[in-house]
Amino acid sequence: MLICNAIICDIHGNRQEDVRIENGVITQIGSNLSDDESIDASGCYLMPGLVDTNVRLKDLQLNGKNLETLSCEALSGGVSTVVLSGEMIGRVDNEITLEFVQKHQLHNGGAKIECSISALNEEGNLSNIALLLKKGGKALYTRTISDYNLIMRMAQYLKMSNKPLFYLAQDKSLNESGVMSDGEVATSLGLPGIPAISEVVNVAAMIEIAREYEITIIFKSITEPRSVKLIAQARSEGVKVECEVSLHHLLHSDEACRGFDTDAKINPPLINESKRKLLITALQNGEIHTLTALHQPNSDVYKDITFYDASYGTTSIGEYLPLCYTNLVKSGIIDMSTLSRLTSYAPAVQIGINIPKVAVGEKANFIVFNPNESFTVGHHHSLYKEESLSGRVIMAVQGDEITRF
């Protein structure tokens, strides 16, 4: 099969060439190639499949149906690999659950599903970290833990396995009573707020753990500009820490919560407009290393209720690449090559999987994205409902499997 006239886009930039695929492998890249089976992709981007390492299942329920649904939605949004968060009902803290996920990780016409390992089991004790990471867990996951003895033991396991820690910096004692970011909007709505220090103080503490034990910590869904600066400073000193930010926190502020819109109730909560703009600047400065769709869909029964009682989360992975293209690339904030680094190359490196490449000799793992198409987000529980987006994923090639949308 030959894909002609596509704009190949990766971390090395953009160039227009033809790509030949034989038996699921890229065998030739060049100009004016010919083949009996060819697809004209003029004006379309051909780019490595996206990798999202911070994904949750519907209602946090781990079951076969939710895994299959997630897989198909992800690929339609340009994501070829997803990594499940450690936060699930049916958490991956034992060998049986890990094997269940691995048994359901491949779906025709869908993204590959990997998972992170929950550091703690339901009783609050350390899970069998060494075994689960050895058997295929891509990272260890935890929220803030107040017991530093447990944290140091986790660090020792990570040092042994050379795997990263996915860390959601949230102080439970400060977060339990709040439902959105502390500030003017929370006050005007009469809703309890979560102070910024809940994140910042725990980022600062875990940077020192990374420094002491020389482990890699990926801070998940960072929202506070101060946290971004702390991570950037530590990196300049040689500490192995990285900053992930969700697309939602770049595109929307806590103003989206006005009217008690439960689709704007996400975790971590949306921040104020001035902080949002600082995150955009940090993105442009290279202080943000990976992006996530922070996909966490919920059933109507958990969203069509009061803001205070509603579950956290919004659906977004099915529109991930169009959302990025419309709001970050088309608006001039970053270019497509930078987007590929943030959403494909960097997260793949973090979890130690084969880096998706468009190169001769590599297994075909790419998507074709038409930036000239447009559509309106129709999902009634999306933060982006009724928004018009530019671009659509029209094809995904994964080895010898071709999926058209």
- pLDDT tops 90 at residue 90: no
- Given a cut of 90, whether residue 62 has pLDDT beyond it is yes
Tell me the CB-side half-sphere exposure of residue 190, using CA atoms within 13 A: 3
pLDDT digits (tens, 9 = 90+) for 238-270: 999 999 999 999 999 999 999 999 999 999 999
The answer to whether 98 touches 136, Cβ cutoff 8 Å, is yes
**81: pLDDT strictly greater than 90:** yes
Res. 171: pLDDT tops 90: no
* Per-residue pLDDT tens digits for 333-392: 999 999 999 999 999 999 999 988 899 999 999 999 999 999 999 999 999 999 999 999
Buried b (16+ CB within 10 A) or exposed e, 206-241: bbebbbebebbbbbbbbbbbbbbbbbbebbeeebeb
pTM higher than 0.95 for the full model?
yes
In this prediction, residue 131 has a pLDDT band, given cuts at 50, 70 and 90, of very high
The answer on pLDDT for 36 being more than 90 is no
Residue 130 pLDDT > 90, yes or no? yes
CA–CA separation, 330 vs 273, rounded Å?
21
Average pLDDT of the residues in 295-310: 97
Per-residue pLDDT, 356 = 84
Cα–Cα dist 133/125, whole Å: 17
Residues with Cβ within 8 Å of residue 214, at least 6 apart in sequence? 159, 240
Q: How far apart are CA 194 and CA 180, in angstroms?
A: 6
* Cα–Cα distances in angstroms (integers) from residue 173 to residues 195, 199, 220, 240, in the given order: 11, 12, 19, 28
* Residues 242 and 218: beta-carbon distance below 8 Å: yes
Note the pLDDT of residue 176. Answer: 77
Other beta carbons less than 10 A from residue 57's beta carbon: 24
Average pLDDT over the chain reads 96
End-to-end CA distance of the chain: 18
Spatial CB neighbours of 343, under 8 Å, sequence gap ≥ 6: 50, 51, 52, 290, 291, 320, 321, 324
Domains of the chain, CATH where assigned: 48-357 (3.20.20.140)
d(CA 134, CA 123): 22
Q: Judge residue 128's burial from the number of C-beta atoms within 10 Å of its C-beta, 0-12 exposed, 13-18 middle, 19 or more buried.
A: middle
Residue 395 near residue 405 (C-beta atoms within 8 A): yes
The pLDDT-based confidence of 192 (bands split at 50, 70, 90) is very high
Angle between helices 197-213 and 225-236 (to 10 degrees): 10
Q: What is the pLDDT of residue 278?
A: 98
Average pLDDT of the segment spanning 4-23: 95
Q: Which residue has the tokens 């703009």?
A: 277
Q: Report d(CA 148, CA 184) in Å as an integer.
A: 34
Give the residue from 314, 325, 328 showing the smallest Cα distance to 280.
328
Residues 81/115, Cβ–Cβ less than 8 Å: no
β-sheet with 241-246: strand ranges across: 117-118, 140-143, 165-168, 217-219, 241-246, 290-292
pLDDT above 90: residue 13: yes
Tallying the residues shown for the chain, one arrives at 405
pLDDT band of 211, cuts 50, 70, 90 = very high
pLDDT at 146 over 90: no
What is the residue type of 366? Answer: F
CB 302 within 8 A of CB 262: no
pLDDT value of residue 172? 80
Cis upstream peptide for 268 (omega within 30°): yes
The answer to whether 297 and 314 are in contact (CB under 8 A) is yes
Report how far residue 352's alpha carbon sits from residue 53's, in angstroms, rounded to the nearest whole number.
Answer: 12
Q: Quote the percentage of the chain above a pLDDT of 90.
A: 93
pLDDT of residue 174: 76
